[in-house]
């Protein structure tokens, strides 16, 4: 059996972001606004056997730099264990209250 990596693989983060997008309300709203039809040729999405048509949603302004997004997730959310601490719910809420009243310190 393979050895576990010390950090979450970037591919797993990419996959999670893709799943988030595929299930997002924003994507669903776009498809609904266009009546589940291609905005360019008008073909309608279909799951009928032999006539399957899948629609994708294109970002008109592009998505930007995926690697920078993933870097930010690792920096802000999936940071090193030394930068994390386990707290009960009450202490966690207290910690956030304390942070609200303290000036931000930039490293």
Enter the pTM of the model: 0.73
Q: How far is CA 103 from the centre of its chain?
A: 29
pLDDT band at 78 (very low <50, low <70, confident <90, very high): very high
Total number of residues shown for the chain: 107
Q: Given pLDDT bands bounded at 50, 70 and 90, which one contains residue 64?
A: confident
CB-count exposure of residue 78 (10 Å: 0-12, 13-18, 19+): middle
Residue 14 has pLDDT above 90, yes or no: yes
How far is residue 59's CA from residue 34's CA, in Å, rounded to a whole number?
14
Best CA proximity match to 18, nearest among 9, 30, 27: 27
């Amino acid at each position: 059996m393979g050895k576990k990596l010390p950090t979450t693989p970037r591919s797993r983060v990419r996959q999670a972001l893709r799943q988030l997008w595929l299930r997002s309300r924003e994507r669903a709203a776009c498809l609904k606004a266009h009546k589940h039809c291609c905005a360019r040729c008008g073909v309608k999405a279909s799951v009928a056997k032999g006539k399957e048509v899948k629609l994708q949603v294109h970002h008109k302004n592009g998505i930007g730099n995926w690697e920078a997004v993933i870097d930010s997730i690792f920096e802000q959310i999936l940071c090193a264990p030394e930068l994390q601490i386990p707290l009960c719910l009450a202490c966690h809420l207290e910690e956030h209250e304390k942070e609200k009243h303290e000036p931000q310190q930039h490293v």
